Amino acid sequence: MNFANLSWPWLLAGAAGLAGLLYVLQQLRIRYTEVAVPTAMFWREAARDAPVRVFRRRFRHWLAYLLSLLICWLLWLGLAEPRVDDPEGGQYHVLFLDGSAHMSAPGDLERAIDRVRDDLRSLPDDQREVIWGGARNLKLLNAGEESLLFDRRVDGLVPEGAPSAVEEQLDLLALPGAYPEAVRLVIYGRAPVSEEVLDGLPEGVQVQRALGLEETGPNRGIVAMGLGTAASGRWDAVDVLVRLEATGNLSTLPGDVELSLDGAPLSGAVIQDAPPDGFVLRDIPAAGGLLEVRISDPDALPADDMAQLRLPERRELRVAVSASLGSVLVDAVQADPGLLLAEDDPEVVFRRAGEAFGGDLPAVEFAPMNEQEAAFEIQYTGNLDAESALRDSLQGLGLNLIDGAGLAAEAGRPVSVQTSGGESRSISVWLELLDERFNFTASRAFPLFVTRTARWLTEEDAVYSYLAAGRLAPDESSEFALTGPGDSATRLLGADLPPARSGTLEAPDGGLSYPVSLLSTAVTTGQTGVELPAFAPAATGLAGPSLLALILILAALALLAFEWYAYQRGMMP
């Protein structure tokens, strides 16, 4: 047995205080004294001599006292609100309040909060906690904290533009020692749970859903939006794929959306269908603009009605090649539509090591094998560790495509990549790799290496094909060269974490801002995963929040009525 409003010490202290108070009142009650007088003429004198109140006489009327005490104790217990302990041996409850985009329908979150508030009154304070399941799982109420704090902490909370993180919470429950062995997670909302996650939970972990929400009605949302190289081959343009999903009788036609670029309506765009539920925008100018797709008509869930994408800024890069390096580099530069061979005002130069050509401009230098141990020496800036820098250089500069074994066999020594941190970016390559006897210049990695190194040295802004809430940014294929070499979306965030919610991410250097969109099929289509058992306080053996209190108060009133009846009948003083 435990109590919702009072702890055991306060309950016992109050009961003792009531017993003492009633005892004192019983002693202070008016007591009538009978005095026999010989004649009526002496009654005034007798009344004056006999005191009305007599203190500290022998305590009488024990039954009347106990009846009054019982009535007071019943009322005191009703105020304390007793409840029956969990018959399952004190199972710990994690109340998961879904604050994700799944709950963005009007009124959903308010109903969930009301249900959590009601259930908190039925659970022992030391056997429950409340988790806010928004973009990140945050603890709203710790075990042992007063339930009244819940109302203060949920004030102002709104659904976040993010998929549910309930499965992350379930993974935490499965960790040894993180929670008691017997724990029940109760979901208040629409957060989906997959069968795979449930199968991986320990035996003592139960998952239930407390809130049976109504169907949200027909909904339509943007579930995919990403860019790629233009199919037309244009360097200064990109193609953008947009995919919609709908429930009910809503359509997913291109005419259902509004397109804008930098806040102005997008006009003249070529739109092609991409069955079953998408379309492609062809040859969108790659000028660094902000492309927005918005669903015209409102529907059940507003969170998925808009998506944005930062377009790359594709400009020609002026490159100069030293005459001492031969024509193979010149041919590679001229074959790239994004590079312009220019001797006047170049931005990047290719030269021999120690050559004065290009001065202090960013340069790709070629050094003899006998002067350089590694085939590729790369100096990077920033706080990357050596392992991450090596991984990024292999992927970002196209070095993962070279035939390392063939080059090593021809060179007669290992072909390696060495990275180091420094104040500026630089690249040094074996000069002999430009020789025809090596297969480097004839491989598909060579033109990619030329264009990637040139743009990496100029530190162009990174470009991401999409940024979606709750998902790591995709690793760009080196054949498409959409991402700035050596960069990744996780580096943009400063940690290996996905963007938490839809909105805007600011680059650490104060440069471009990158929009993050929801892009969630599960949210748009209302997926709830596995059907979970329903949770109700009565199902756990817990009394309702006022049932026992009501019974106690009614019993006290009944005894009070009996006391009045007995007093009227002269059965008690």
Tell me, what's the pLDDT at 322?
A: 95
* 267 contact partners, CB below 8 Å, separation of at least 6: none
Single out the residue in 413, 439, 457 at which a domain terminates: 457
Same domain assignment for residues 78 and 96:
no
**Domain edge (last residue) among 457, 483, 506:** 457
Looking at residue 145, the DSSP 8-state letter turns out to be S
**Residue range 425-430: mean pLDDT, rounded:** 93
Dihedral angle computed from the Cα positions of residues 345, 348, 354 and 360, in that order, rounded to the nearest 10 degrees:
60
Same domain, 304 and 328: no
| Structure tokens, 166 | 């309930």
Q: Is the CB of residue 268 less than 8 Å from the CB of residue 290?
A: no
Shared domain check, 286 and 162: no
More confident residue, 140 or 212: 140
pLDDT in tens, 119-147: 998 888 889 999 999 988 999 999 999 98
Residue 45 falls within a domain, yes or no?
yes
Domain presence at residue 49: yes
Length of the chain, please? Answer: 573
152 within a domain of the structure (yes/no): yes
Lowest mean pLDDT among 225-234, 456-465, 516-525: 456-465
Instruction: Report which of 91, 66, 78 is spatially closest to residue 14, judged by C-alpha positions.
Output: 78
Q: Is residue 573 part of a domain?
A: no
Q: Tell me the residue range of the domain where 34 lies.
A: 2-82+548-568
Which helix H or strand E contains 78, and what residues bound it? helix 62-80
Neighbours of 431 (CB within 10 A): 18
Q: What is the DSSP string of 305-341?
A: SEEEEEPPB--PEEEEE-GGG-SHHHHHHHH-TTEEE
What is the C-alpha to C-alpha distance for residues 400 and 384, in angstroms, rounded to an integer? 19
pLDDT tops 70 at residue 482: no
Same domain, yes or no: 166 and 135:
yes
Percent of the chain with pLDDT over 70: 84
Q: Which residue has the tokens 């010149």?
A: 330
Q: pLDDT tens, 312-334?
A: 888 889 999 999 998 999 999 99
- 502-525 residue pLDDT tens: 988 776 666 678 899 999 999 999
Which of 401, 432, 457 is the last residue before a domain boundary? 457
Asked whether the predicted pLDDT for residue 360 surpasses 50, the reply is yes
pLDDT band at 486 (very low <50, low <70, confident <90, very high): very low
Q: Is the pLDDT of residue 41 over 60?
A: yes
More confident residue, 492 or 550: 550
Domain annotation covers residue 142: yes
What pLDDT is attached to residue 349? 96
Question: Letter for the amino acid at 226?
Answer: G
Report the candidate in 336, 347, 227 with the shortest Cα–Cα distance to residue 289: 227
- In a domain, residue 396? The reply is yes
Distances (CA, A) of 409 to 85, 369, 372, 400, 438: 76, 14, 18, 17, 10
* Window from 181-195, 321-335, 367-381, 487-501 with minimum mean pLDDT: 487-501
Q: Which two tokens stand for residue 26?
A: 């019983």
**Same structural domain, 167 and 298:** no
Distance CA 29, CA 44 (A): 23
Highest mean pLDDT among 67-76, 248-257, 426-435, 468-477: 426-435
Co-location of 347 and 443 in the same domain:
yes
The stretch 532-544 carries a mean pLDDT of 64
Q: Count the Cβ atoms, other than its own, within 10 Å of residue 467.
A: 27
Task: Examine the domain organization and report whether 226 and 299 are in the same domain.
Answer: yes
Rounded to the nearest integer, the mean pLDDT of the chain is 84
Out of 26-35, 394-403, 537-546, least confident range: 537-546
Highest mean pLDDT among 32-36, 99-103, 402-406, 513-517: 99-103
The number of folded domains in the chain is 4
Residue 87 lies in a domain: no
Greatest pairwise CA separation for the chain in angstroms: 148
The per-residue pLDDT for 540 is 45
Q: Which of 45-54, 278-287, 501-510 has the lowest mean pLDDT?
A: 45-54
Q: Per-residue confidence at 88, pLDDT binned at 50, 70, 90?
A: very low
CA distance 344 to 342: 5
pLDDT for res 391: 78
Cα separation, 173 vs 114, in Å, equals: 25
Q: What is the pLDDT of residue 31?
A: 61
The tokens describing 441, both together, are 């210049």
- Exposed/middle/buried for 81, CB within 10 Å: 0-12, 13-18, 19+? buried
Q: Is the previous residue joined to 202 through a cis bond, with omega within 30 degrees of 0?
A: no
* pLDDT tens digit sequence for 232-262: 988 889 999 999 999 888 888 777 899 999 9
For residues 350 and 395, state if they share a domain: yes
The pLDDT score that the predictor gives to residue 487 is: 45
Q: Of the ranges 242-251, 284-293, 367-376, 539-548, which one carries the lowest mean pLDDT score? A: 539-548
Assess if residue 435 is contained within a domain.
yes
Say yes or no: 208 and 98 in one domain: yes
Please tell me whether residues 168 and 71 are part of one structural domain.
no
At 477, the pLDDT band (50, 70, 90 cuts) reads: very low
Beta bridge partners of 417: 376
Q: Is the dihedral of CA 223, 225, 228, 233 positive or negative?
A: positive
The CATH number of residue 130's host domain is 3.40.50.410
Q: Are 347 and 418 contained in the same domain?
A: yes
Same domain, 453 and 326: yes
